[in-house]
Amino acid sequence: MPQALRGGLVLLDLSPRRVVRTAVFQYNPDLLYRRLVRAPDGDGADEVIELELELDATGDPQATLGIQPQLAALESIAFPARTLAKAPLTMLVWGQARTVPVRVTELLVTEQAFDLVLHPIRATVTATMTVLAAPRRSPVSADEALRAEHRLVREALAGRERQAKRGTGRLDAFDV
């Protein structure tokens, strides 16, 4: 049986190309919401992703600070300090076919339980992210190239769905 993949957020410094920080989700969210809204220029759609993360250190004797380190990692990836030469790029990693450049717009943290010295030991974090759209022209930078790659992967997946249903003779051949 294959091992389940876990999603996460990755903060990249594109000059020089290196991973600055990662936050692997303790548990994969049960739900991931995608909201598509027509772009202001009418060309394509803007995509907003929202997911709810569960953090839990209940009964973990090594979690002397509770879940504070995990919360700090999420916050520092979502809202990085401007100490890098160029603004870093945040990537949502959600499987092999969905690694997308995002801008985290909001983290809503609900701390639900505490240890004896009031460190949070259980929390729910709702993360809201805007997918960074691919430019309409040829990409010129590394972050634009990653955005363009995401757009191409999405278009390829849409093409597979159409090819799989073509020729079935059903009225719902293009339903999703």
Does some domain include residue 3?
no
Q: What is the average pLDDT across 73-93?
A: 82
Alpha-carbon distance 64 to 69, whole Å? 10
- 3-state class (DSSP) for residue 53: strand
Whether 126 maps to a domain, the answer reads yes
Q: Write out the residue range of the structural domain in which residue 97 sits.
A: 8-165
Q: Evaluate whether residue 176 is within a structural domain.
A: no
**138-to-142, 146, 148, 168, 176 alpha-carbon distances in Å:** 12, 12, 9, 37, 30
Specify if 125 maps to a domain.
Answer: yes
Task: Give the chain's mean pLDDT.
Answer: 79
Which has the minimum average pLDDT: 25-39, 55-69, 74-88, 154-168?
A: 154-168
Reported as a pLDDT band with limits 50, 70 and 90, residue 162 is: very low
Tens-place pLDDT, residues 48-71? 999 999 999 998 888 899 999 999
* Average pLDDT value for residue range 4-31: 86
pLDDT interval class at 170 (50, 70, 90): very low
> How many structural domains does the chain have?
1
Q: Do the domain assignments include residue 96?
A: yes
Q: Against a cut of 0.85, is the pTM above it?
A: no
Q: Could you tell me if residue 116 is inside a domain?
A: yes
pLDDT band at 40 (very low <50, low <70, confident <90, very high): confident
The answer to whether 106 touches 34, Cβ cutoff 8 Å, is no
Q: Confirm whether 93 is domain-assigned.
A: yes
72 within a domain of the structure (yes/no)? yes
